[in-house]
Structure 1
Amino acid sequence: MFELLPIIIIGLVFAGISEKQSKKIVNDSGIVYYEKKDVVFYLIAVVVLATFVGLRKVYNDTGVYIDQYNSIELTGVFPNFLFNDIDWNISSNFGFTIIMRLLKFLHFSDQSFLMFFAFFILGVYFWFIRKYSNNIFLSVFYVITMGIYTFTMGALRQCIAIAICLIAVDCFLTKKYALFVLLVLFATTFHQYAFIFLIVPLLSFSPWTSRTYIVVFLFLIGSFGMQSILEAIDDFTLAMGKTYSTGSFSGKGVNVFRLIVVWIPTALSFILKDKLINDGSRAENLFINLSMINAEIMFLGLFGTANYFARLANFFLIFQTISLPVIIQKYPVAERKFLTTGSIIGYSLYFIYANTIAQGGFDNNYFGISFFDYINNIFV
């Protein structure tokens, strides 16, 4: 974690300065709203965090993507070579293939290929957070400590699909429904499970109404029918970035600490369920409901198949970073301070555990180059 920690601290410092430079107003209920949000310091934080991701050589599936990019051979003339011999089956992730070919045509090195997507993914993530969070610093902090940040260093296609779907969610909230559908369909060409975002229009209702309990009931039914679900997974395994079988998914369940982390916003929202039913914007309702979906998918992982369900749940994990500050702010003022402090301590401990103990620790799985080495190898 010693390579990761300095970058995290720098990113959080600039995110904190950005929070201080932003202007806020407080209404009669003690709810804080942004009157003006800082741009400059926030962008510095994003650039620092994205650059570190783009400089990696080894982490999770990174080597697989580098090999895939380096194996591309362009045949024919522009633009025909972008589409030659493309497998248009949705499970082939042809959108990702076309973009890789375009970057190859522009003579991007394999490191620039990683850097390009690092800036796209994290740029979109943090744009979305800046637009919708009611506490930008806390949301950036949660992105890091919940594991979203380090996840972008490995699951490249999935993270690209999530970023595209966040743009789609913004279109949904601004009532550009046709564009929402088109963007979700486009995201499926990078990772076919992105189609799960088509449930978004069904989830803008107030949390903890009767529809919430219907969704919870359906997930409970799913957990007890796990073996039947596993039999249907084989047809979709190409979307995971590697070739998996149901045997690969039938291992141990999700880490209990990770499960607790993702259930905290749902538990806190349940305590406030009466207030949430009557007091919540369309965006707030949607984000809280998507956070619940994330927690419920992770709950399914208790019954085995941790690898599969943890990745599936990660499609919605970023919504927890926005919904948690929203939920905390709806508590009485005195309790807000306690909950905020408690979440900072708790998520920090989880971050340390996840990057030092779990899966061999971050330092044992990560290798990156220096920024100056990258400057000398932007193009090939």
Structure 2
Amino acid sequence: MAVYWNILIWSFFIASLWRLFPRESSLAEGGELSKRANLFIACLAFGIIIIFAGLRSGVADTNTYIFFYENIPDDFLEGIFSDTSRDKGFTLFSYLIKKFISEDFQLWLFIIALISGLAVMAPLYKYSPMFELSTFLFVATAQFTWLLNGMRQFIAISLLFLSLNLLLQKSYKTYILLVLLLSTIHGSAIIMLPFCLLCQSKPWSKQMLTIIVVFFIVFFFIKDLLFFGDDILEATQYAGYTNMIAEIQGSSIFRLIVAGIPLLLTLWKKRKVAEFNNKLLNICINMSAFNFCFMLLSTAMGGIFIGRVAAYFDIYNLLLYPLILTELYQKQERTVLYAGIILGYTTWFYFQMAVVWDSYYISDVLDLYIN
């Protein structure tokens, strides 16, 4: 646990230094010039996270990934385009690294951590008016653990987050092509196809409220829907997944409460959200609403699987919180909320890492073996 506390504290402290050396920038839609983090501080803060993630050698499902990498066959066609091979894009990506860069799994892990970490950092560097808060939330909400566990899916999550500008510009064709490409890395990425359009709605509009109501209906009838879905998926590589989801216990109600907090903060300032009508803010609010909806479903059953889908939307809260504080609330309110977010999510971090997750850390390179 000591390693993770150090990651939280030092990344937040270094990220906070941007206020001493800011750069001038502007919001996504233009507008008044405002201060943003400089690139050196941003890279330094995220460098701490990336180094510990990239140099691990035995955390969570890391051993499974190492086994996969070390057993990638030399036969290109057999290993990648066989009938039994799933998520061929990830296999191809890994094969190319092993073939042309290094057979050392440690370098492979580091490259993936570097790509995913920088893909998260870039939108925060570009758009967040409180870079240190965004960095803090990335660690404190335990989203950084995707770099340690489930890294294949996080490649898709982080690269789609990196393509936020495509959503802002409504470049749907490019975004859809990217989703289809990343679905070869992790099949769950395909879920983003409809949401690249749905996220363009006005927050708390009739369309968004209808979507939320639909999710509540699904929540109450999810068992029947899973039974129906099992027949549809029977002939695919996901056959049996619905039964598996139905048998797995739902996620904690506390996760749902945490997912609802940023939505409540925007709902309280609903009129101001409408007046401001900022594309970036609107998309982040809607993505946060989708996150809440999927977390709602995950409390019913299949917490692991449905909760993993929610991660595609949860990452937008890293931008939403700073936008809420700077754009929707006054200075006195902002100070109280900022302190509350730091205190509340530090407590949540402890609960996630010390109580829920077996937060050990192993690194042969760093010679660390911490239980």
TM score, norm. by length of structure 2: 0.89
What's the counterpart of residue 131 of structure 1? 126
Pick aligned residue for 2:87 from 88, 93, 115: 93
- Opposite residue 266 of structure 1, the aligned amino acid is L
Could you list the runs of 5+ residues in structure 2 that have no partner in the other structure?
none
Q: Which moved more, 1:273-282 or 1:217-226?
A: 273-282
1:117 aligns with 2:115: no
Note the alpha carbon deviations across 1:84-108, whole angstroms, 9 max, x for none: 4534779810100101110110224
Note the alpha carbon deviations across 1:109-156, whole angstroms, 9 max, x for none: 111111010000011001111112121111111111111111221111
What's the counterpart of residue 376 of structure 1? none
Q: Percent identity?
A: 26
- Opposite residue 87 of structure 2, the aligned amino acid is N
Deviation at 1:324, TM superposition (A): 1.5
Deviation at 1:209, TM superposition (A): 1.3
Aligned partners of 1:46 and 1:291: how far apart in 2? 23
TM score, norm. by length of structure 1: 0.87
User: What RMSD, in angstroms, separates the aligned Cα atoms of the two structures?
Assistant: 2.7
Deviation at 1:275, TM superposition (A): 1.5
**Aligned length in residues:** 359
> Is the Cα contact below 8 Å between 1:249 and 1:308 reproduced in 2?
no
Deviation at 1:249, TM superposition (A): 4.4
Pick aligned residue for 2:284 from 266, 287, 290: 287
Aligned partners of 1:91 and 1:73: how far apart in 2? 12
Aligned partners of 2:238 and 2:271: how far apart in 1? 40
1:162 aligns with 2:157: yes
Aligned partners of 2:165 and 2:83: how far apart in 1? 28
What's the counterpart of residue 187 of structure 2? 192
Question: Counterpart of 1:336 in 2: which secondary structure?
Answer: helix
Following TM superposition, where does structure 1 have runs of at least 4 consecutive aligned residues deviating by more than 4 angstroms? 23-27, 88-91, 236-240
1:215 aligns with 2:207: no
What's the counterpart of residue 104 of structure 1? 98
Question: Counterpart of 2:57 in 1: which secondary structure?
Answer: strand
- Opposite residue 64 of structure 1, the aligned amino acid is T
1:345 aligns with 2:343: yes
Pick aligned residue for 2:306 from 309, 313, 317: 309
1:299 aligns with 2:320: no
Query: Aligned pair in 2 of structure 1 residues 85, 116: CA closer, same or farther (>3 Å)?
Result: closer
Note the alpha carbon deviations across 1:272-301, whole angstroms, 9 max, x for none: 112212213112101110011001110112
- Opposite residue 331 of structure 2, the aligned amino acid is V
> Is the Cα contact below 8 Å between 1:265 and 1:291 reproduced in 2?
yes
Note the alpha carbon deviations across 1:248-271, whole angstroms, 9 max, x for none: 543322122222221110111111
Deviation at 1:239, TM superposition (A): 7.3
Aligned partners of 2:181 and 2:238: how far apart in 1? 14
Pick aligned residue for 1:324 from 315, 321, 325: 321
1:39 aligns with 2:39: yes
Aligned partners of 1:130 and 1:238: how far apart in 2? 38
> Is the Cα contact below 8 Å between 2:36 and 2:129 reproduced in 1?
no
Deviation at 1:170, TM superposition (A): 2.1
Aligned partners of 1:283 and 1:86: how far apart in 2? 39
